[in-house]
Amino acid sequence: MKNMKNNLNEHIDKQMVKIEVSLDDMNPEFYGYIMEQLFSMGVNDVYIVQVIMKKNRPGQVLHILCREEIREKVMDFLFLETTTLGIRYTPYTVHRLERTFIEVETEWGKCTVKIGKREGKIVQIAPEYEDCVRLAKEHQVPIKWVYDLVKEKGYQWAKEQ
């Protein structure tokens, strides 16, 4: 197992904003494109929640977490690319764990694991999804097998620390 890099110390980020857009009249086939474009703009997270809106209409709320410095750019994009007539945004504070990336070796190949630490103590171990998908496809094994094995290798690494 190899320690790849430590790219982020634990910290509190007070320069974040959460943007919400309610949508009830947009083609849902567009959501993948919208999310892809938002991530390419540098947003930190995007997710969609199903809701029942006024007049009992089914709809979705698009949630976006980004840095304050790109809020206007994100809003311009949302007004242009979605059917919304209004955008809500709120200042957000985000506590981020220290992150270390390690590389573990499995019977199917190497995979990256993200290690999350709080006050120097390991509290999260997460295999990188894209690596797990690649190995599952290459070796024609269920992704859950790859994910479980990689996570176990991550636990072994953590025990040695």
Helix (H, G, I), strand (E, B) or coil at 58: strand
What integer pLDDT is reported at residue 3 of this predicted model? 57
In a shared domain, residues 102 and 85: no
Q: What is the mean pLDDT of the chain?
A: 93
| Whether the Cβ atoms of residue 22 and residue 51 lie closer than 8 Å to each other | yes
What integer pLDDT is reported at residue 6 of this predicted model? 57
Q: Which stretches of the chain are assigned E, i.e. beta strand?
A: 2-8, 11-23, 45-52, 58-67, 88-96, 98-106, 109-118, 121-127
In a shared domain, residues 152 and 77: no
* Domain end call among 48, 75, 95: 95
Indicate whether 59 pLDDT > 90. Answer: yes
pLDDT (tens digit per residue) in 134-160: 999 999 999 999 999 999 999 999 998
Query: pLDDT band at 10, cuts 50/70/90?
Result: confident
In a shared domain, residues 40 and 107: no
* CA geometry: angle 78, 84, 85, nearest 5 deg: 110
Higher pLDDT, 107 or 4: 107
Residue 5 belongs to a domain: no
pLDDT (tens digit per residue) in 75-94: 999 999 999 999 999 999 99
Query: pLDDT band at 5, cuts 50/70/90?
Result: low
| Phi–psi pair at 41, nearest 5 degrees | -80, -15
Q: What is the CATH number of the domain that holds 103?
A: 3.10.20.300
* Domain end call among 72, 95, 118: 95
Dig out the tokens for 30 from the structure: 């567009």
In the chain, how many domains are there? 2
List the domain range (segments joined by +) for residue 49. 12-95
In a shared domain, residues 80 and 26: yes
In a shared domain, residues 112 and 130: yes
In a shared domain, residues 87 and 101: no
Determine whether 135 is exposed, middle or buried from the number of CB atoms within 10 Å of its CB (0-12, 13-18, 19+).
buried
pLDDT (tens digit per residue) in 20-47: 999 999 999 999 999 999 999 999 999 9
Give residue 118's identity as a one-letter amino acid code.
Answer: R
Q: For residue 36, what are the contacts with CB-CB under 8 A and spacing of at least 6?
A: none
In a shared domain, residues 89 and 54: yes
In a shared domain, residues 58 and 29: yes
What integer pLDDT is reported at residue 161 of this predicted model? 81
The proportion of the chain whose per-residue pLDDT surpasses 70, expressed as a percent, equals 96
In a shared domain, residues 19 and 90: yes
Helix (H, G, I), strand (E, B) or coil at 155: helix
In a shared domain, residues 88 and 146: no
* Domain end call among 41, 63, 95: 95
Question: For residue 133, which of 121, 145, 122 has the smallest C-alpha distance?
Answer: 145
| Global pTM exceeds 0.75 | yes
DSSP state of 157: H
Mean pLDDT of 95-102: 92
